[in-house]
Chain A
Amino acid sequence: MEAEKILLEVIPYILRGVPVTLQLTVLSFIIGLSIGSVLAAVRIFGTQPLPLIAASYIEFFRGTPLLVQIFFIYFGLPALGIKLDAFTAAVLSIGLNSGAYQAEILRSAVKGIPEEQFLSAESLGLKTGQIYRHVIFPQAIRIATPALVNELVALVKYTSLASIIGVAELFRNTEYMVSYTFRPEIYLLAAAIYLAICVPASQVAKVLETKYAIPGFRRAVV
């Protein structure tokens, strides 16, 4: 009876949280990538005070707990007249937070390219736009990829924080089932599912990295 209950009720219920976890992850990653690209561009190309504003954004989101940010957006914003449902609030706060980290990943990838690369492209007569398009960005994106995948994998796990404001994702459903069955070993099942999501993601990244590797280029460490 017990095994049957777990097989027929608990597991399907928990698995129903998986697509929600994946949606939270992908959407907040995309928001983070968009914000991160803009912030990185502003920090690299902008004129004051724009880079300073971007830097403050980054410091703020990296220097305060994600949980506090989620609470503020879900519980605090309604006081300012902005009401969001739990899922949107979670995506938004995780995305805003990730944007700060992705900005730094992208910025340091561009900054990590030796100055001579820019100068020699310039000396050849390339326009600034051509230099970024043909010389800087293709190298920067390769440098950034492992760190961006790291960030994506980290987001899979961070989305579990959305459970606190009631988003029915993987961890929330797990907790629900633990209290329903009084079987805390179900947490192990949740951990296994997170692993089953994260490990293939890292593997895909490794495949991509090898496929698009620049022959002889220094191997980035994931």
Chain B
Amino acid sequence: MDPPLLELRGLRAGYGRVEVLRGVDLSVDKGEKIVVIGPSGSGKSTLLKCIPRLVKPTSGEIFFKGTRVDDDPTVLRDIRSKIGFVFQQYTLFPHMTLLRNVALPLELVKNAPRSDAERLAMEALSRLGLRPFASRYPLELSGGQQQRGAIARALAIDPALLLLDEPTSALDPELRAEVLETLYSIAREGRSMLIVTHEIDFAEAAADRVVFMDQGVVVEEGDARQVLERPRNERTEKFLRRLRTRL
């Protein structure tokens, strides 16, 4: 049997003396789309950042395609080049055009010659309908276009796993829609995704599984429908009720 695409075992992490993750186990199979929900400060974002080791766990283990993720620079670089990561904001590099943004990792990490890198980058941009903006600078674009650009950059390396950390929460409501649409279309392509978001509708429609986190632990996880419609845990139910009334 193949190992899961991603496996977290007893993951703990913190900043200074504050422990943010207090023992998380989670596994993601190939092609699975998992949405992580939970109140702010529950450790969702830290969890995501631990995977490509942007935050160093204090203990626990992470396996990506069966390889243990640790500080070995060669292993780490290889793993990072197979995982796409999209942040809430400030993701694109403002001093280069959108095309250069997408081409840069292909050149520096995949060692592609500039012309190949830019051709691949242009293809990635075209797929997300961003071709007309290729020569624009990030700050000349709307927030939604910037975020889609960041997604295009993450996808250009053809990652085995795409991690998205609240990709829509810094956006105005009317810009959220275009980013969500992009996320739906990626989800349909069958790429493995782990998404932290408050977009319950997206979770309902696109996720295979939903994970509810609170206070640094996974409180409940399961089939997306089940967790969102018939949560077993009282905390999950309370959180969902509050989220729905706010919307």
Contacts and interface: CB of A to CB of B under 8 A. Distances in A.
B105 A125 contact: yes
Contact of B139 (A116, A123, A217): A217
Interface string B198-232: 00000000000000000000000000000000000
A133 to B, nearest CB: 9
Contact of B87 (A120, A125, A139, A216): A120
A123 B52 contact: yes
A165 interface: no
B91 A130 contact: no
A215 B85 contact: no
B108 A130 contact: yes
Interface string A189-222: 0000000000000000000000000111100000
Of A124, A139, A217, most buried by chain B (CB within 10 Å of CB) is A124
B182 interface: no
Contact of B54 (A123, A134, A217): A123
A122 B93 CA distance: 12
Among B54, B88, B136, B150, residue most surrounded by chain A Cβ atoms (within 10 Å): B54
Nearest to B109: A125
Among A114, A122, A125, A216, chain B packs the most CB atoms within 10 A around the CB of: A125
Interface string A108-123: 0000001011011111
Nearest to A120: B91
A117 B91 CA distance: 6
A138 interface: yes
A121 B104 CA distance: 10
A139 B95 contact: yes
B80 A116 contact: no
Interface in A42-92: none
A127 interface: yes
A120 B105 CA distance: 11
Contacts of B94: 139, 214, 216-217
A142 interface: yes
Contact of B140 (A124, A134, A138, A215): A215
Interface in B70-114: 73, 77-78, 80-81, 83-85, 87-91, 93-95, 104-105, 108-109
Contacts of A26: none
Contacts of A216: 94, 137-140
B148 interface: no
A142 to B, nearest CB: 7
A116 B89 contact: yes
Contacts of A114: 90
B196 to A, nearest CB: 14
B33 interface: no
A124 B85 CA distance: 8
A122 B54 contact: yes
A135 B153 CA distance: 15
Contacts of B83: 123
Contacts of B77: 125, 127
B140 A120 contact: no
A126 interface: yes
A121 B153 CA distance: 11
Given A124-B157, A217-B94, A134 B138 contact: no
Nearest to A124: B105
A119 B109 contact: no
B49 interface: yes
Contacts of A123: 52, 54, 80, 83-85
A177 to B, nearest CB: 49
Contacts of B78: 125
Given A123-B54, A127-B108, 8 more contacts: A116-B88, A117-B90, A120-B90, A123-B80, A124-B108, A215-B136, A216-B138, A216-B140
5 contacts: A120-B91, A122-B52, A139-B95, A142-B95, A214-B139
